[in-house]
């Protein structure tokens, strides 16, 4: 039993590392050399949240999923005891975000694209 748990944690770690590496490559905050873009973004955040001088935020939420049928279901149970995956994104002052295709670059996404 301990060996199986170790294998699951190793797989989970590989997925997390791959996802993190992809996020680091694809997500970027407003560039330091574009202060004019900051001036465009800051008023939106102040209207939206009442917080001045903000140029970008990371927002996260749990996305409800069906309980996976295999032995890895415990990896998806959150602190409220239901299965979920965490969605995080960088948003602008209007709450907009763009799809950076992190999932498509992940091993799971590539496997699904290749019908494996």
**pLDDT score of 5 more than 70:** no
Strand partners, 77: 83
What pLDDT was estimated at residue 115?
75
Q: Is residue 36 domain-resident? A: no
- When pLDDT is averaged across residues 37-47 and rounded to a whole number, the result is 83
Q: Is residue 39 domain-resident? A: no
Q: Write out pLDDT tens, residues 60-107.
A: 889 998 887 877 788 889 999 999 988 887 787 777 776 656 667 777
Higher pLDDT, 79 or 28: 79
In 10 A of CB 93, how many CB atoms? 19
| Residue 91: partners with Cβ closer than 8 Å, 6 or more residues away | 56, 57, 58, 59, 97
The total of structural domains in the chain comes to: 1
- When pLDDT is averaged across residues 6-21 and rounded to a whole number, the result is 68
Q: Is residue 33 domain-resident? A: no
Across the chain, mean pLDDT equals: 76
Range of the domain at 65: 2-28+56-113
Q: Is residue 51 domain-resident? A: no
């Amino acid at each position: 039993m301990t060996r199986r748990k170790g294998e699951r944690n190793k797989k989970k770690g590989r997925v997390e590392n791959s996802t993190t590496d992809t996020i680091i490559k694809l997500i970027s905050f407003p560039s330091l050399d574009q202060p004019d873009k900051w001036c465009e973004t800051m008023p939106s955040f102040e209207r939206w949240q009442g917080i001045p001088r903000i140029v970008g935020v990371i927002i996260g939420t749990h996305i409800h999923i069906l309980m996976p049928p295999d032995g890895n279901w415990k990896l998806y149970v959150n602190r409220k005891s239901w299965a979920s995956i965490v969605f995080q994104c960088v948003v602008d002052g209007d709450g907009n975000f763009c799809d950076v295709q992190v999932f498509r670059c992940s091993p799971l996404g590539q496997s699904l694209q290749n019908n494996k």
